[in-house]
Structure 1
């Protein structure tokens, strides 16, 4: 087979390498072309050198090109994969820093909450640019695979306004299933048959079977509470399991941001999180992790390049959906996964226009969703709160409507539990002004926002958050990795 895959945001070096090697684990795909594009020439050069080394080491005919000209990369592409972070870590730092001034303590801040909503405002205009280029220069019927957060908002915009065949992809379901299989004592995650449904980062394991035996709420609670590690790291998820009756796919830290009950009081946050790793609830944890990862990669790049000389091992193919979807579409080998698509009746008690994450099957006819799923009422209620925020956020981003943007942030569950309307109005003004270079649709609103900020009497505070860790130096990271290696 010979076709072209374009990767937008290919400068996300580690993730691009994973997608690349996964796809080349499919024997029929060795003769395809990968067209890499990014706004950073530096990152493009690094990832191209790594992928060229992989191709050379494995004696493959695969073609790899790299360009900052996005339309050139997209021209004739059958598949387009996006893993962009508009504004990079600079804008992301403001997504965490500014809400903290108003008492909003986020762990990740890339889905909803104040940070996720502003992240969506930066992404959506760019997503629509991608879609325009796809319509104009990509192959007829090209499929857009979106990995970028905020997943639901980006996918919503691409489908509803970009008019491109789009599917959103995430790995939360896979990770959650691996965790459940482990606590239940399974030898392999393949022993667990699971049905997850909901919205991205609020997907729920509504059906579980281990080797054909149904697993109920009480057994699952007992298994998690007995686990020596997860009982400490997943306290919030276990509490939600006890109250809702089903387990969430999302990490302890992520889930804490989407519900209004666990992060609204600084003195309560420590009760529900665990500081052994950022993903369990640390303030600004993913920002710290991302910063350290970037610094580490930049410093240790020669080692990453050397490691690219190893043969591709199909046994190490990851469970990221992209390669499996492409394999199913091109070879008709059926793949089952959980995909982000427009609802259209798939989940009976969520809105038709919402972007849901639910089970589907892929073959040469496309992605076919399993319809007629009804969520438990509590799960549907929490999803609905986020969907309403997502819908307003998408509409605000499309129209450049700062008043609607403020209403979206006001209706966010955690923001609403922490901040007053006056605080939300000022916070949004401050975030829009700080991020104006990535928010072209709000250019007309920036002067008035600056004027309001100059006259505002709303008090703020400089606060690191309830559970903040400092970014570690390269020397500290090296010492920690050496200690872990010695201990292991």
Structure 2
């Protein structure tokens, strides 16, 4: 009898966890999980207990021998793990609300993973993920780290550059959502659709689209301009695209590209939303409150459909498919964040990219796309520069590097405004940014 697989989920008290558990239950025949450890911090203990109890009921209902453990002791959980998934939010949703409101006050887009908000989420998250990496090296050196924590591209970049962990994959539900959206728009099943994805996390393009192996890019572009097929996400306003622009682009943008190609409209939309119904973080807080009320119900033993109101639909499928394919050496194609290794010619080999990969027992093997089209190459390279400089700032706690990262981001209009936002956000997040405030000992 095999000992079964041990999976550790850091940020186990997340509202997404039931979706992950559902994904593991569905795949149990191929992925015989023996132990699932849900780990959180003291501030998340109440949520961990609620989600953990639901996870146990789900496993019991499925009649599977998966042991679900809940703990605040990360090191205890990590011992001998086969896979470690990370889905945490440093500073919780209150920090996200500041990431959204402070830039807006300065007339700049405030968003979780883009612009100043993305920078600060990275600055708070990267030291924590690197700390987790040290524990993994010591306690489960053979484990795969599957990171879903945003900004996933920048976090993967930091792990590749500043830790000794090689077995890391960054994961995002955006490409899955695009593929599903295309299938829906064409009224076909998603297994008939293939998309050539290449770019960065939240900056990925569909360079071509195939139905049953035949390219249908032009047809999909025409559909994409129709507001009914805008292929957005719960957290991004479904502002329609200019058809003539898409015809010129000759690629499928991802929902987050609206921040770069429709900056003024998105800013206007965000300012209005913040003034009327609150920022996305404030809306999500309410959604989460309702979800956790549902999760508390001792009769509930499935993932409730209301979870889809969060922005992370298809997350469990992405995470569970990836783990399943590594474990079973499936050699199927999935878009993930991994070391470029020459797949995209215009990005450094040692940088993280989001690209279609063949998933093997030795991890993702990126599929080469050559150079990105000249029309998108510059923006992708600019965001990669931003991610690299931001990761360096997170590791060093250097103020000038942080200001540089802030200012080279295309959503920040000037160094002066960048400095204003940086200073205000450093102060607002002081508790979670010790690297910027440590006294230098002489």
Normalised to the residue count of structure 2, the TM-score between the two structures is 0.87
Q: Separation in 1 of the partners of 2:302 and 2:407?
A: 51
Q: Separation in 1 of the partners of 2:12 and 2:424?
A: 31
Alignment CA distance shift 1:176-1:439 (3 Å): same
Task: String of CA shifts for 1:85-106, please: whole Å, max 9, x gaps.
Answer: 1111111111111112211133
1:401 counterpart (372, 386, 398): 398
Larger radius of gyration: 1
Q: Runs of 5+ in structure 1 lacking a partner?
A: 311-315, 447-488
2:306 aligns to what? none
Task: String of CA shifts for 1:304-330, please: whole Å, max 9, x gaps.
Answer: x523169xxxxx997622222222222
Residue correspondence of structure 1 range 324-473 to structure 2 within 5 A: 324-416=321-413, 420-444=414-438
2:251 aligns to what? 246
1:236 aligns to what? 241
Secondary structure at the aligned position of 1:197 is classed as strand
1:452 aligns to what? none
1:308 aligns with 2:312: no
Alignment CA distance shift 1:398-1:375 (3 Å): same
Q: Separation in 1 of the partners of 2:277 and 2:390?
A: 24
1:287 aligns to what? 281
1:224 aligns with 2:221: no
Task: String of CA shifts for 1:340-381, please: whole Å, max 9, x gaps.
Answer: 012121111222233110011123333222124321112111
Shift of residue 425 of structure 1? 1.3
Shift of residue 220 of structure 1? 2.8
Residue correspondence of structure 1 range 2-401 to structure 2 within 5 A: 2-13=4-15, 15-26=16-27, 27-39=29-41, 40-106=44-110, 109-138=111-140, 140-164=141-165, 165-183=167-185, 185-217=186-218, 219-226=219-226, 228=228, 230=230, 233-236=238-241, 238=243, 240-248=245-253, 250-251=254-255, 254-257=256-259, 259=260, 261-264=261-264, 269=268, 285-303=279-297, 305-308=298-301, 320-401=317-398
Query: Does structure 1 conserve the Cα–Cα contact (< 8 Å) formed by 2:340 and 2:366?
Result: no
2:307 aligns to what? none
Query: Does structure 1 conserve the Cα–Cα contact (< 8 Å) formed by 2:343 and 2:366?
Result: yes
Q: Separation in 2 of the partners of 1:366 and 1:228?
A: 37
Alignment CA distance shift 1:365-1:406 (3 Å): closer
Task: String of CA shifts for 1:212-244, please: whole Å, max 9, x gaps.
Answer: 322243x33332345645399341375652331
Q: Separation in 2 of the partners of 1:386 and 1:43?
A: 35
Alignment CA distance shift 1:114-1:215 (3 Å): same
